[in-house]
């Protein structure tokens, strides 16, 4: 479907046509530079801190045929994360801590902690999010999952839009294309890109590469410094509706510094607009530290869940996917079986109560007969 979004920065036909000349060769050079960086960085460790600012009413929740907006006023909080990336072995571990909104039964919304760790290998994706550190406890029958396990690539998103530049130091610029949230599932090719235009960014000439549309009318733009293609100073994400209206947009502006392998992101600001929302969430990432070609072990990309962990393992047969670590005699059943068990238990209790009433009535009858006999 042809994209109908028209940028405010319209160019003349002559300028666009001029930019397209020789574009395949220029795209080849850019992709070659990215691939060279990826090959030189076998493993990368990244630590970061960030500040998140959420505009008033950024989140909306349905409640009793109404909509609840949150937060009531602009809010900010600190976040931090650690990424360990094994490019050679296609493995990663990503841990982050932040805040997330939680809707209560009464319709109130509050900020609660969010602490997740994702492990990805060639065999599995594991997402560990212990309930006690994510705003809820493991009440009996609550169906809370602390650890989710799936086959790779699975359905677990590893990175959100605002964290895509974490992968740039390792030459992984294609993160998110086709909505693949793992850095190992996609690879941009010349056929996926076109030179949209040549533009100035902070006084330097940049090639603006645009991906082909995917998932309907979604596409990315990479603003690549012509002097050094490892410096992608802006990543923009556009998602359009069928009528061409812009529904989602993210602008990520990145600064760089020099490290041993060359330019790496020094900081970035991600401005993200929710679908149909005109107010943003802004993520300012700073205090980045890198460690290149570190030694890694398999144990770095796995975990041994503690006793009492509620697990949903989708690599196991149906009916045995939910269980509690250390309580194998009483596995946590899937929701359907859980409800059936509750219903069976309820029926059993009803029968017991009925039998008890019958016994009680019989006992009362016998007692009355004995009393009457004694009177006679």
d(CA 211, CA 219): 6
42 SS3 class: coil
- Tens digit of pLDDT for each residue in 62-96? 988 889 999 999 999 999 999 999 998 999 999 99
Q: Which residue from 88, 95, 97 is spatially nearest to 126, judged by alpha carbons?
A: 95
- Tens digit of pLDDT for each residue in 234-256? 999 998 877 777 778 899 999 99
Q: Token pair for residue 189?
A: 């090719």
Residue 226 CA to its chain's centroid (Å) = 32
- Residue ranges of the chain whose pLDDT lies below 50: 1-22, 138-143, 332, 334-336, 338-339, 342, 348
Q: Token pair for residue 143?
A: 């169906």
Q: Token pair for residue 225?
A: 């410094």
d(CA 138, CA 132): 8
Q: Which residue from 274, 248, 246 is spatially nearest to 59, judged by alpha carbons?
A: 274
Beta strand pairing status for 217-225 and 204-211? antiparallel
Q: Which residue from 111, 117, 81 is spatially nearest to 99, judged by alpha carbons?
A: 111
Q: Token pair for residue 158?
A: 């590893």
In the 8-state DSSP scheme, what is residue 119? E
Distances (CA, A) of 224 to 120, 192, 195, 209: 29, 16, 10, 7
d(CA 49, CA 69): 27
Q: Which residue from 176, 181, 203, 207 is spatially nearest to 194, judged by alpha carbons?
A: 207
pLDDT at residue 12, rounded to an integer: 31
pLDDT at residue 35, rounded to an integer: 94
Beta strand pairing status for 147-151 and 310-313? parallel
**How many residues are recorded in the chain?**
376
62 SS3 class: strand
234 SS3 class: strand
Helices and strands (H and E) in the chain: how many: 3, 17
Beta strand pairing status for 246-259 and 232-240? antiparallel
In the block, tokens 């109404």 appear at 66
pTM of model > 0.75: yes
d(CA 154, CA 314): 9
**Is omega for the bond preceding 71 within 30 degrees of 0, making it cis?**
yes
Q: Classify the phi-psi angles of 145: left when phi > 0, otherwise alpha if psi is within -120 to 50, otherwise beta.
A: beta
Give pairs for 111-116: CB < 8 Å, separation 24+. 111/71, 111/75, 111/77, 112/136
Beta strand pairing status for 91-103 and 232-240? unpaired
Q: How large is the greatest C-alpha to C-alpha distance in the chain, in angstroms?
A: 120
The values of phi and psi at residue 327, to 5°, are: -130, 55
Q: Calculate ∠ Cα 293-296-301, nearest 5°.
A: 125
d(CA 38, CA 357): 75
pLDDT at residue 248, rounded to an integer: 82
**Cβ–Cβ < 8 Å for 312, 293:** no
In the 8-state DSSP scheme, what is residue 335? H
- Tens digit of pLDDT for each residue in 12-23? 333 333 344 346
């Amino acid at each position: 479907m042809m994209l109908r979004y028209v940028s405010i920065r319209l160019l003349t036909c002559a300028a666009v046509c001029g930019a397209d000349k020789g574009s395949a060769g220029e795209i080849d050079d850019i992709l070659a530079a990215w691939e060279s960086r990826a090959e030189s960085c076998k493993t990368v460790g990244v630590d970061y801190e960030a500040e998140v600012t959420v505009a008033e009413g950024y989140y909306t929740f349905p409640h009793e045929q109404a909509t609840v907006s949150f937060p009531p006023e602009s809010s900010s909080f600190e976040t931090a994360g650690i990424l360990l990336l094994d490019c050679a072995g296609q493995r990663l571990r990503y841990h982050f801590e932040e805040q997330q909104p939680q809707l209560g039964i009464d319709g109130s919304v509050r900020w609660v902690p969010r602490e997740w760790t994702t492990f990805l290998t060639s065999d599995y994706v594991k997402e560990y999010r212990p309930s006690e550190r994510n705003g809820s406890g493991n009440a009996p029958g609550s169906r809370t999952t602390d650890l989710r396990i799936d086959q790779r690539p699975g359905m677990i998103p590893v990175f959100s839009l605002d964290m895509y530049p974490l992968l740039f130091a390792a030459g992984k610029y294609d993160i998110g294309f086709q909505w693949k949230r793992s850095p190992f599932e996609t690879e941009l090719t010349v056929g996926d890109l076109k030179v949209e235009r040549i533009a100035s960014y902070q006084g330097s000439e940049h090639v603006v590469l645009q991906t082909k549309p995917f998932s309907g009318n979604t596409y990315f733009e990479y603003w690549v410094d012509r002097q050094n293609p490892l410096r992608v100073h802006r990543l923009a994400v556009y998602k359009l509706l069928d009528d061409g209206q812009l529904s989602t947009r993210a602008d990520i502006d990145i600064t760089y510094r020099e490290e041993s392998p060359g330019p790496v992101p020094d900081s970035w600001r991600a401005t993200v607009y929710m679908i149909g929302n005109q107010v943003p969430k802004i993520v300012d990432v700073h205090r980045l530290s890198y460690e290149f070609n570190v030694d890694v072990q398999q144990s770095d990309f796995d975990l041994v869940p503690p006793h009492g962990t509620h697990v949903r393992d989708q690599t196991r047969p149906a009916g045995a996917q939910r269980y509690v670590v250390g309580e194998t005699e009483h596995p946590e059943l899937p929701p359907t079986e859980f409800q059936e068990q509750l219903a069976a238990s309820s029926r059993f209790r009803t029968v017991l109560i009925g039998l008890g009433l019958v016994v009680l009535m019989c006992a009362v009858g016998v007692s009355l007969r004995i009393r009457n006999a004694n009177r006679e």
